[in-house]
Chains A and B, each alone.
Chain A
Amino acid sequence: MSNYILKYSRDERVKYISHLDFVRLFHRTVRRTSLQFMFSQGFNPHPIMTVAQPLSVGVTADGEYMKVGFDGEYTENEIMSTLNENLPLGYKIIAVKQIFAKEIDLTKIDRAVYTVEAETNDSPDIDAFMANKELIVPKKTKSGVKDSDIRPHIFGLSQLDKNSESMVLKMTVSAGNDYNLKPETVIDAIKKYECADIGFIKIHRNALLEGDKDFL
């Protein structure tokens, strides 16, 4: 068995595909190629594949990660071109790296960068918002909705664009298993602390990082 880290993007055309549907789609894609998946042992063998941070429905992305086990040795280029020829339009593999141990450990992902476009006629003051010592908003956790201080989990927030109907924000926030901050929750906090009326939001994930460094 050989393990590979795959970095991929998804655009507007396929952004409504759920995580589970993507996993199935990827299984089918591999079946259409000459690549052989490594299968798990047990009663119901399934292909060995782990998606690092499942994307929410409706979110596009530039640099997502997954780890895949193939039965056989393939070159990184071979994997990239084979998959790209067979993936539905809208998904694209942008980098492949074979790993031999844990030199790339996707469980270490702890930050994500998002670009969020939000409909609003208001002009929330982002610098004032970031100057808050704490930002307490209801946040979904495993045990239900609880108030949480999200300020320590926002590493950067800036306004890229603003017009009378909308604004575009870029944010770097906590991601991963320890504390995952969704951009929606940041928007909730802006609504609350800046008394902003914000309507529809559209989310794009630019990167998944460990600290400030990318994996591939």
Chain B
Amino acid sequence: MITQRDKILSAVEKPTRYTGGELNSVIKDPSKVDVRFGFCFPDTYEIAMSHLGLKILYHVLNKREDTFCERVFAPWTDMQQQLKIHGMKLFALETGDEITHFDMLGFTLQYELSYSNIVRMLKDADIPVRAADRDETYPVICGGGPCAYNAEPVAEIFDFFQLGEGEDMMNEAVDEYVKWKKSGKKNKRDYLEAIAKYDGIYVPSFYDVTYNADGTVNEIKPNNENAKPKIIKRIMADFDSAYTPNSIVVPFGDVVHDRVMLEIMRGCMRGCRFCQAGYIYRPLRERKSETLLGLADDLLSCSGYDEISLSSLSSSDYSELAPLTGGLLDMTEKKKIGLSLPSLRIDNFSIELMNRVQAVRKSGITFAPEAGTQRLRDVINKNITEENVLKSTSMLFKGGWTNVKLYFMIGLPTETDDDIRGIAGLSQKVLDEYFKIPKEERAKNINVTVSTSSFVPKPFTAFQWEKQDSRDMIIKKQDFLKSEIKSRRIKYNWHDNRTSYLEGVFARGDRRLCEVIIKAVEKGCQFDSWADHFKFDTWLEAFSECGIDPDFYNMRVRAYDEVLPWDHIDIGVTKEFLMRENEKAKAAKTTPHCREKCSGCGVAAFKAGVCCE
């Protein structure tokens, strides 16, 4: 029998993106659950299935007998076309059922440039985009992830947001949903009022935002007695015992991170001033190596993966690194399983480790000095010195590695021509280290790649008040750096200034941007982080049709006393601390990391992790 499914799946480029049925995916009888939940990732299957948060929450939800969580990803343009031709709506992977009348949808907000895809997916599902236009017959829609900390640009789309780590909060939200559903689902407001009392849950419609004549925010004020004036994020304080799934869905096709990811820590103690992750995930919490080894064994044997990777913001800070890697190697060497060690500082220990890990093949090694001079590295509190970099690369070259990538940012606050020149200078010195080694002792074909991204000031960082470099300025700086790099052995890659610009607008945007996002999607914008699909001019048209000047959001310095659109959100790190850090940045003064000395950021109130060591 030739079916509609046959025709659709034969017409798309990668059908296994849509078929489901992967190993360890969960199948339940939808008629036997109270809650049908769609975990939505607003990007392609390959990106979505690489995301650790999805892997965790999928199992958190499916562990519940009353809930069936399915995955819902952004259909690629070929599939969108098929849906249209066949008059179908966006469907969930496990059952293939349309999501239009699911109970709940949860979107993960990983990057600003995925906002258009959220709108696109709702439209593909025939669900009204704005929360206010959805009655009780439509799913309740929530959002989480890093961008939820300032989700104001998409606030009108969502019924509620979850701020922080979702393992417990998700269960509370579903518990309340079940109660509400059993009571007859009379009024969505009743449900939202019930969950608004939990820490971490932010119901945007319960807050009114007023603006000053100059366009800045005047006030963010609760309009519902259940809404807290400030919403504090949630964390799993005891991370070692926090639930983590011992099962993992194994995709059929190639995905970006196609391996077991072992989350060894959450949070980071370094305090780089540009880094939003470094602030929002505080405090640093570790899992015991013993716990991790057991978990690694479970995940490898249930998946059959031949690669495992450590996952954290800075693996070198993990205090049980030696026993963990030793134990993992015992496990992986026997079974011919690859071990990858990202975000590791290069020293004798890690070189020895890497030699054991990759007996023959020497893959590329990445360094992120982020800035070209010591002064600017002090400004951003990136605690890595030129000597560190040169010593490490020299060790690597002696060890037979020849592929080094250096990551920098351009457009950082206080940056001058000297700092840009410093990027070229440091890269040249790295190359020189290679040539200092006698020919017989070094491997052939040296490759130094320099990549620059453009700095985007993010909310909840020390630089949240700063101006972003204009697109012209970024181009000028990129050209200057190109002219400063003399060696043909150094390859230079740079980021598109247009995507950085848009990212900057949404990162610190307010509720007035929602209209722009919806308009841009109506005009055809989607998949903005895919170069082939990014339509910058269309975005600019959408801004202008909505009468909004995007420069307002990223081309000006904000005063400390300006009300920021995210001021009602509390990540535990105080605004005063961020101001202090901003001042220290201006003076190029560094701040020690959490284990060296507590700097009083405020997050100690959570009484967890590194704050209690």
Chain A residues at the B interface, C-beta cutoff of 8 Å: 13-14, 16-18, 21, 25, 27-32, 39, 43-45, 57-58, 86, 88-90, 117, 119, 166, 200, 202
Contacts and interface: CB of A to CB of B under 8 A. Distances in A.
Interface in B498-542: none
A88 B21 contact: yes
A28 B335 CA distance: 12
Contact of A200 (B6, B22, B304, B361): B6
A11 to B, nearest CB: 11
B579 to A, nearest CB: 51
Contact of B304 (A16, A18, A30): A30
Interface in B95-127: none
Interface of B: 1-2, 6-7, 9-10, 15-16, 19, 21-23, 250, 252-254, 300-306, 335-336, 360-361
A44 B16 contact: no
Nearest to A90: B21
Contacts of B304: 27-32, 86
Contacts of B6: 58, 200, 202
Given A14-B21, A43-B360, A28 B306 contact: yes
Contacts of A32: 301-304
Given A17-B16, A58-B10, A200-B2, A45 B303 contact: no
Nearest to A21: B252
Contacts of A16: 9, 15-16, 19
30 contacts: A14-B252, A18-B16, A18-B253, A21-B16, A25-B252, A28-B304, A28-B305, A30-B304, A31-B300, A31-B301, A31-B305, A31-B306, A31-B335, A32-B301, A32-B303, A39-B336, A43-B361, A44-B360, A45-B336, A57-B15, A58-B6, A58-B9, A58-B15, A88-B21, A88-B22, A88-B252, A90-B21, A117-B1, A200-B6, A200-B7
Contacts of B302: 32
A17 B301 contact: no
- Which of the listed residues A16, A30, A58, A86 has the most CB atoms from chain B within 10 Å of its own CB? A16
Contacts of B335: 31
Nearest to B254: A21
A45 B10 CA distance: 35
A77 to B, nearest CB: 22
Nearest to B21: A13
B73 to A, nearest CB: 16
Given A16-B16, A44-B360, 20 more contacts: A13-B19, A17-B16, A17-B253, A21-B16, A21-B253, A27-B304, A28-B250, A28-B306, A31-B300, A31-B301, A31-B306, A31-B335, A32-B301, A32-B302, A32-B303, A32-B304, A58-B9, A90-B21, A117-B2, A119-B2
The 8 closest A-B pairs by CB, nearest first: A28-B304, A16-B15, A31-B304, A32-B304, A88-B23, A17-B252, A202-B2, A21-B252
Contacts of B2: 117, 119, 166, 200, 202
A89 B21 contact: yes
A18 B1 CA distance: 22
A28 B16 CA distance: 17
A27 B335 CA distance: 12
Contacts of B303: 28, 32
A49 B335 CA distance: 17
B19 to A, nearest CB: 6
Nearest to B250: A28
A48 to B, nearest CB: 13
Contacts of B300: 31
A119 B10 CA distance: 14
Contacts of A28: 23, 250, 303-306
Contacts of A29: 304
A91 to B, nearest CB: 11
A178 to B, nearest CB: 29
Nearest to B305: A28
Nearest to B302: A32
A173 B305 CA distance: 38
A30 B337 CA distance: 13
A92 to B, nearest CB: 14
Nearest to B20: A13
A32 B298 CA distance: 10
A91 B2 CA distance: 21
Contacts of B9: 16, 58
A14 B2 CA distance: 16
A28 B251 CA distance: 11
Nearest to A165: B2
B2 to A, nearest CB: 5
B443 to A, nearest CB: 15
A16 B336 CA distance: 29
Contacts of B7: 200
A119 B1 CA distance: 10
B360 to A, nearest CB: 5
B353 to A, nearest CB: 20
A84 to B, nearest CB: 14
Contacts of A45: 336
A86 B250 CA distance: 13
A215 to B, nearest CB: 27
Contacts of A39: 336
A60 B44 CA distance: 26
Contacts of B336: 39, 45
A185 B303 CA distance: 39
A49 to B, nearest CB: 14
A32 B24 CA distance: 12
Best-buried of B6, B22, B302 by chain A (most CB within 10 Å): B6
A164 to B, nearest CB: 14
Nearest to A30: B304
A67 B128 CA distance: 54
A214 B178 CA distance: 57
Nearest to B15: A16
A204 to B, nearest CB: 11
Contacts of B23: 28, 88
A163 B199 CA distance: 64
Contacts of A58: 6, 9-10, 15
Contacts of B253: 17-18, 21
A70 to B, nearest CB: 14
B187 to A, nearest CB: 42
A165 B93 CA distance: 31
Contacts of B360: 43-44
B76 to A, nearest CB: 14
Nearest to A118: B2
B325 to A, nearest CB: 21
Contacts of B22: 88
A81 B50 CA distance: 31
A58 B301 CA distance: 29
A88 B249 CA distance: 11
Nearest to A117: B2
B50 to A, nearest CB: 16
Interface centre among B250, B304, B336 (most CB of A within 10 A): B304
A89 B94 CA distance: 13
Contacts of B250: 28
Contacts of A89: 21
A115 to B, nearest CB: 12
Nearest to B24: A88
A190 to B, nearest CB: 17
A24 to B, nearest CB: 8
Contacts of B305: 28, 31
Nearest to B303: A28
